[in-house]
Amino acid sequence: MARHLITSAIPYINGIKHLGNLVGSQLPADLFARYQRGRGNEVLFLCSTDEHGTPAELAAAKAGKPVADYCAEMHDVQAEIARGFRLSFDHFGRSSSAQNHALTQHFAGALDQAGLIREVSETQMYSNADGRFLPDRYIEGTCPNCGFESARGDQCDNCTKQLDPTDLINPYSTISGSTDLEERETKHLFLCQSQMRGTLQDWIDSKSDWPVLTTSIANKWLNDGDGLQDRGITRDLDWGVPVMKGDAPWPGMEGKVFYVWFDAPIEYIACSQEWVDAGKGTDWERWWRTDKGADDVTYTQFMGKDNVPFHTLSFPATILGSNEPWKLVDYIKSFNYLNYDGGQFSTSRGRGVFMDQALEILPSDYWRWWLLSHAPESSDSEFTWENFQTSVNKDLADVLGNFVSRVTKFCRSKFSEDVPAGGTYGAAEQALIEELTTRLKAYEGHMEAMEVRKSAQELRAIWAAGNEYLQITAPWSTFKTDPDAAAAQIRLALNLIPFYAVLSAPFIPDASADLLATMNVTDTAWPTDVPTALGALAPGHAFQVPDVTFRKITDDERTEWQERFAGTRD
């Protein structure tokens, strides 16, 4: 039994995430976790809310609540939405946890002992209008590299170049919009990433199996301009992990907190401690410490491309620089952006369909199928209502749902709600079994490789094979002249339903569970042998004719939803 540690990029606390966030990390991570569990492997799937930094403070102030109360409330909101989308986290933690505070302070101490922390007196942007130092992400301006007009003070989302606020052309405060900014001196701790450049380069170069998107972004940060730069890991903020050395405040750093991008990835580890402390699991160290048994763990991270630099460079620099036996990531599955109807999804600008709104419209399986089958792997992809309607109606309603309905209703009308006996299988049945054997192997190969869209295409082809079999054998016609042969055809078709349900569970878990229930099947073991799987329902096995598995989206609904969400865009 293999062991898989799986994490997705942790969503920020300030608000409900949009569908682009979902498909860029959490949903494909859930797909992989469900698949590996289905294969009988041991899985620890972790995620958390990212709760520190200025955005949380500002969102709390806007809501009129203390920041701790606001974060606790929004964590519960995000956890409930995650359950709505059937995200199967083993634990959904919080970066503000006591475990993450302690672990972040521990790593800072270990890095300091290794000579990788230095104190820097620097000038930072101070907004006179706002009366505060502005964190990098609350300064925007024009990127000096590509000319993008909404570049942030730490990174340009358009070209991904690492920036400092002073690099921006015409910078302004995103809090007030004020351009009355001035540089003031302050002291901060810096992680000496530049000392780790060679180690990180060797590590990246060893990952020949990683997606090109992941390694190209990492190499760009390592080699552009002057190469990997030392990075500040503290900020002048009230909310966050206090900068401590041992049990006392770090000398000269009183009143400061660790930078959110330093403590947030550490939460992956702390989340496993929360998992244990919550009574959900035991022995977190066997997942994270190579001296405690984590050598046989395969660790996979899922994230959007904007998070890649921090997970290929900054977090590994923290892990490697600590000189402690922590588990490093084995594979980073990165995604491009999902755009919305001619524009971009944007949390800050309220553009697009958000996760809570999506669940108000349709059950999660409809969204899971479309998002995963259109995952932005090799390039950006785009959500349109026309494409969504077409995919749901053709793939889910016409191919899978229609097959289940035709088979079960025909059996009830001509035989009963029991699997019929009938004759033996012939050439058509053998041809179907051979095709499904080949396709199952291909499906498993794509899922193991985390090729999300190819996995969806192969699964749809497996569904379609059942419909093609019905068209070839035409049991409704066969019944008129040879009822026994028709019974055998329907018996095989009925056996396809639980076979489909088990294979489809990583994509559409609710529908899969419903299909297994209507077929009175409790065995959810992954099919290792197609002939055996397609003989699991013996003659006389009782079933129920299900309600509509997937309904079609009407043109009127599509038009209504297009109009409803048009107003969320700028």
Q: Which helix (H) or strand (E) holds 111?
A: helix 98-113
Q: Minimal CA–CA distance to 505: which of 494, 495, 518, 514?
A: 514
The two structure tokens encoding residue 291: 């001296």
Please name the residue that has the structure tokens 């998992």. 275
Q: Write down the pLDDT at residue 569.
A: 40
Give φ, ψ of 10 to 5 degrees: -85, 130
321 vs 183: CA distance, rounded Å: 31
* Beta pairing, strands 297-304 & 331-335: parallel
Distances (CA, A) of 500 to 56, 373, 565: 44, 17, 34
- Dig out the tokens for 485 from the structure: 């042969």
Residue 216 DSSP SS3: helix
Is the pLDDT at 255 greater than 60? The verdict is yes
- pLDDT-derived band at 570 (thresholds 50, 70, 90) equals very low
| Contact in structure between 125 and 134 (CB atoms under 8 Å) | yes
Q: What is the pTM of this model?
A: 0.92
The answer to whether residues 403 and 501 touch, using CB atoms and an 8 Å cutoff, is no
The three-state secondary structure class of 372 is: helix
Q: What gap in Å lies between CA 566 and CA 207, rounded to an integer?
A: 42
CATH no. of 383-533: 1.10.730.10
Q: Give the pLDDT confidence of 97-130 residue by residue, as tens digits.
A: 999 999 999 999 999 999 999 999 988 889 999 8
- pLDDT at 61 (0 to 100): 86
pLDDT at 388: 98
The verdict on whether residue 146 carries a ligand-binding annotation is yes
Q: In this structure, are residues 504 and 464 in contact, taking their beta carbons and an 8 Å threshold?
A: no
> What's the one-letter identity of residue 389?
Q
Q: What is the 3-state secondary structure (H, E, C) of 329-359?
A: CCEEEEECCEEECCEECECCCCECCEHHHHH
Instruction: Please check if 71 is assigned to a binding site.
Output: no
Task: Give the orientation angle of helix 260-277 with respect to helix 98-113, to 10 degrees.
Answer: 130
Query: Hey, is 558 helix, strand or coil?
Result: helix
Among residues 298, 231, 313, the alpha carbon closest in space to that of 265 is found at: 313
Q: What pLDDT is stored for residue 163 in this prediction?
A: 87
> Could you tell me the CA-to-CA distances from 179 to 53, 64, 125, 171, 235 in Å, in that order?
22, 26, 11, 7, 21
Give the strands of the sheet with 338-340, arranged side by side.
343-344, 338-340, 381-383
Q: Is the pLDDT assigned to residue 227 strictly greater than 80?
A: no
Contacts of 14 (CB under 8 A, 6+ apart): 55, 56, 58, 59, 74, 347
Closest to 90 (Cα-Cα) out of 293, 287, 335, 307 = 287
Helix (H) or strand (E) segment spanning residue 458? helix 452-473
Q: Which residue has the higher pLDDT, 196 or 137?
A: 196
Instruction: Give how far Cα 273 sits from Cα of 32, 280, 324, 442, Å.
Output: 22, 10, 17, 37
> How high is the pLDDT of residue 349?
63
Rounded (5°) CA angle 145-24-28: 150
- Which pLDDT belongs to residue 568? 44
Distance, in Å, from the CA atom of 265 to the CA atom of 10, rounded to the nearest integer, reads: 8
Mean pLDDT of 269-280: 98
pLDDT in tens, 469-485: 999 999 999 999 999 99
Would you place residue 15 in the very low, low, confident or very high pLDDT band (cuts 50, 70, 90)?
Answer: confident
By mean pLDDT, which of 188-197, 349-358, 485-494 is the weakest? Answer: 349-358
Residue 468: the pLDDT is 98
pLDDT band at 350 (very low <50, low <70, confident <90, very high): low
As a whole number of angstroms, the distance between CA 389 and CA 397 comes to 11
High-pLDDT (> 70) share of the chain, %: 98
* 348 pLDDT higher than 80: no
Positive or negative, the CA dihedral 374, 376, 381, 384 is: positive
Closest CA to 515 of 434, 419, 401: 401
- Residue 155's φ and ψ, nearest 5 degrees, are -165, 145
pLDDT of residue 423: 85
pLDDT of the residue at 88 = 98
> For 233-252, what is the mean pLDDT?
93
Distance CA 416, CA 543 (A): 9
Q: Which amino acid is at 264?
A: A
User: Mean pLDDT score of the chain, rounded to an integer?
Assistant: 94
Tell whether residue 347 is among the known ligand binding residues. Answer: yes
Mean pLDDT, to the nearest integer, of 497-505?
98
Nearest-10 Cα torsion for 200, 202, 208, 213? 30
- CA–CA separation, 99 and 107 (whole Å): 12
The total of other beta-carbon atoms located within 10 Å of residue 516's CB is: 19
* Distance from chain centroid for Cα 368: 11
Alpha carbons 289 and 522: distance in angstroms, whole number: 37
Nearest to 299 by CA among 310, 314, 311: 311
Give pLDDT tens digits for 64-97. Answer: 999 999 999 999 999 999 999 999 999 999 999 9
Output the pLDDT for position 55.
83
Distances (CA, A) of 39 to 4, 185, 432, 481, 525: 12, 56, 23, 42, 8
